Chain A
Amino acid sequence: MSRMALVIAFVLALIGPAPAQKAEIEAANAKWIELFNRGDYAGVASFYAADAIALPPGSAMVQGRAAIEAMWKGMAEQVSDPKLTTLDVKSLGPSAAREIGTFNLKTKSATPQDVIGKYVVVWEKVGDDWKLATDIWNDGK
């Protein structure tokens, strides 16, 4: 009987919500910021799934790592010092999660301005790593 309980516990552990998801996603975000600030946009793009879609405001959608790398490289010419704050992570199963967060950054204009916004990311677990599958953001807190 105890073996049966173990089997059930094991299966539930595989398919149930992972409490570590938020910590792992926050760690991925910290690394993402580090790479962005270093100007390593290929590294930034490597955090996205191969078929990921980014949905930036006021622009066409951007699909795939190469296009996403180019998008962030272009973005870095206009903004700097991004900061991400994870507000909520909801498990969408053992290998997917939805994150809601806010971001702060500064424009690179002659008079730098603070920009505050909010975002939603759907993350997918690919192997041992969390990858951004869908990334959308807009202005305002």
Chain B
Amino acid sequence: MRLVHTSALVLCLITAGPGVSFADDARGSVEKAYTAWDAAFNKQDAKAVAATYVSSAKLMPPTHQVASGPAEIEKFWAGLFANGVTGHKLEVIDAGGDDKVVFGTAKWSATGKDKDGKPTPLSGLAMHVFERQADGSLKLRLQTFN
């Protein structure tokens, strides 16, 4: 009977406890997700960018209202592409998490256009919360930047 108790406890810890191997690799997973996100952005493909978010995702951009779900998020990024923002790059500052939720903070940079249409550098800081998918990849649940 004691063996049954111990097995139940071990099973609980294995199934519901933090996934050490995933947690250890949070930074690598976030770097991979950032690279894929930048690639989609730099193709100016709003649909591909929106595909990197889960259906319940929220995007909290500065001076805009919160965009909820991939359709609203796609519209937001499409608006940025229409305004000529290119060359997006995310660089990891910090990352953490477990087998279900991973978060990352980053420096972002891109090239926009000034009022005369001349290229102008843009940059800021960003935070992302990801949900890990069944194949181990990450999809965005929350994104904010300034």
Contact = CB atoms under 8 A, between A and B. Distances in A.
Interface in A93-115: 93, 98, 100
Nearest to A91: B101
Contacts of A138: 60-63, 144-146
B103 interface: yes
Interface stretch (B13-21, B30-38, B43-51): B13-21
Interface residues of B, number: 35
B54 interface: no
Nearest to A9: B12
Contact of B8 (A8, A61, A120, A136): A8
Interface of B: 4-5, 8-9, 12-13, 16-18, 58, 60-66, 93-94, 97-98, 100-101, 103, 105, 107, 124-127, 129, 142, 144-146
Interface of A: 3-4, 7-8, 11-12, 15-16, 53, 55-58, 61, 92-93, 98, 100, 118-120, 122, 134, 136-141
A92 B98 CA distance: 9
Contact of A53 (B12, B16, B94, B97): B94
B65 A141 contact: yes
Contacts of B100: 93
Contacts of A134: 94, 103, 105, 127
